[in-house]
A and B are shown apart, each in its own frame.
Chain A
Amino acid sequence: MPDDSLIAALEGVSRIYDGGRISALNSVTLHVRRNEFLVITGPSGSGKSTLLHLLCGLDRPTQGRVLFEGSEPRSSKEWTKLRAKRIGFVFQSFNLLPTLTALENIEVPMFGQVSLRSDRRGRAMELLSGMGLSDRAGQFPSELSGGERQRVAIARAMANNPDILLADEPTGNLDSRSSAEVMKLLFDIQSKSNSTLVIVTHDRDLAKGAERTINIVDGRISQPEAGEETAACTL
């Protein structure tokens, strides 16, 4: 019987690369609750990004199951549909399309989801205003600062009003001031929209304010530290 309180889950998931030479994740079980704010920390190369990629179907497990709302998407087509409608993703390096303006970049995920051009534009403008960038709508990514680019990328991830927002080192390429701004923005989005937010970061300071933090070391979820929980604790 699926647990309605869970939005996504990894069950005994391992991810092995290079024919067994590299083990990125090792029998990880993690349950992500609906509307929670979860931070995944760990040193570089610990497997936290791999975990995030598995959660949204960008990568497939070598072993174990990845569930979304209790069922296991079988094909990449199913995962593509989920990423289009239900899952938002924020990259460390923004990944904005250089040929499109800030506003147009936000419209990109809406093709196929929002049929009217005016509706796409309206929604994109609304999101951009929410990011405090309404005056930068016509700028190309190369004309924006790092913080602005990441805010546009967050707006893009929110374009189709996803149920879960995944952010992979969202402040990794930003200075401390921009990092604080971006993190505040993500906290605000989570609290206002009441959606699920999962952030991967190696900066433990950024985990402050999260409802739950898990730590990954060498592809395994480590024991909880004071004030932290592991995924196992949620079972």
Chain B
Amino acid sequence: MSVENLKAYIESGVLELYVLGDLSPEETLQVEEIASQNPEVRDEIAAIEQAMEQYAMQNAVEPSADVETRLFKNLGLSEVEENVNVQPEPIYTEEPRIIRLDGSDAKVRTLRYALVACIALLVVSTAALFITYNKLNAAHDQIASLNLDKQKFAGVVSKLEFENQGLDNMAAMADSKEWATIRMAGQAFSPASKMKVYWNKKDKSVLINYVAMDLPKTDAEHQYQLWALVNGKPVSLGVFGKTDSTNNEALVKMQTIQEAQAFAVTLEPMGGSVNPTMDKLTVMGGV
């Protein structure tokens, strides 16, 4: 085709009709034939196409959103499908099963870890319990020994209090003008014994002081009895003797006696006797 003919062909408007799809199949084939041989025709077609495309773009109208949904539904295509590589069907059906197995494996693993943790916890707990038990036993032992100590100290304290009371009294008696102190010395029955008895000159009361006596220990059936010798006759002033451990009084008030020349102590059966058992005369001293 000559240059003039080509120019006339382009200007005939057939290429515009070609782009608009307004040619018969025969005419269309002819245009394509000519275009394949002539770059000018191809360029012209391209320019027309671009103009029509831009024109269409500029006159675009947004369709409603559900057209797209319906379209993909109609075509049987998943609407949200965005990835290029679509997995074949069998892989899809297989995958959930694999995931499920993985899931249960993970669960078993988790349970195994939990079991190990439980055992470890049990071991630690047992050890802790054992240590605590030992400590508790040690504490019990300590408490017992402390209790023993406490009792011992309490005993010591009460003894000290008892002695202190007696000693206070002895000191008071020594200073006093009111009280007469009668010393009784050991007799044949118990030569090493000695004892003091205090006699009030005013009210005639008689006191004895456990601290101020040194007499042999009595057995369960016997106790000591204090006598006053009044004009050669023995008068009982009462019994004494530390038979009762709860008695913490060092001083014991005996019966009063208006007058006496001497005091004596005999060992008598429990409760005392009417008359003194002279062969068991332990101590005696005159006023």
Same complex for A and B? Answer no
